[in-house]
Amino acid sequence: IIGSQNVVEAAIDAGVKKVVALSTGKASSPINLYGATKLASDKLFVSANHYAARYVTRFSVVRYGNVMGSRGSVIPFFRKLAAEGKPLPLTDTRMTRFWITLPQAVEFVVNSFDLMVGGELYVPRIPSVTVPDLAEAVVPGAATYEIGIRPGEKLHEEMIAEDDSRRTVRLDDRYVVMPTIAEWGYVPPVGGVPVEDGFSYRSNTNPDFLSVEEMRDLIDRFA
């Protein structure tokens, strides 16, 4: 939280025109302290537009899911276990997650710089995966066993909570959560379609799921 505030103040002092902060699904309806600090960071960056209204700096936030091939990804871990002839541990066979490739994530962030007015929370419209399907895609036919959800871990990933749906619009490639209060000349995104009442963006209710074959193709190319 203090680090986020330092970035806000440094950007304003240096006359930086645009800042896009990177967030995660843990900030939506947080269930542990880490998620709560991520949410506080998101709120700081959005609210910073009030403080920076008389300056040139504008702030927005991007929130996306698991990045395929990133540091700490489960893919190399599964491959290592398979090479050692060991079964793959699955947290929970019901678990789902959003999935995005590293090039897609980078492109999404860069495009957000072009779109932002300040105060938006951008969430990409991306597919979901199930944990068992992911294991099958990485190591076909591998034996698996269930180890249970760790403390503070969610069964399904959430990017937009239902309470935020009243301020959320849909674009072709993303959802945009607009600021609650905007006194810095905020303009809603052109072409944004309001989401339906009661909407939430969760990995288990997402209509777009990757098949094992689709995951395997992406893993071969990007991981």
Show which residues are catalytic: 26
What whole-number distance in Å separates Cα of residue 61 and Cα of residue 103?
Answer: 18
CB 8: neighbour CB atoms within 10 A?
22
**140-156 core/surface letters (b: 16 or more CB in 10 A; e: else):** eeeebeeeeeeeeebeb
Is-contact 136 102, C-beta < 8 A? no
Q: Six-digit token pair at 169?
A: 């619009």
Cβ-Cβ contacts under 8 Å for 184 (sequence gap 6 or more): 49, 50, 52, 53, 58, 118, 119
Residue (of 164, 171, 150) closest to 202 by Cα position: 164
| Helix/strand/coil for 117 | coil
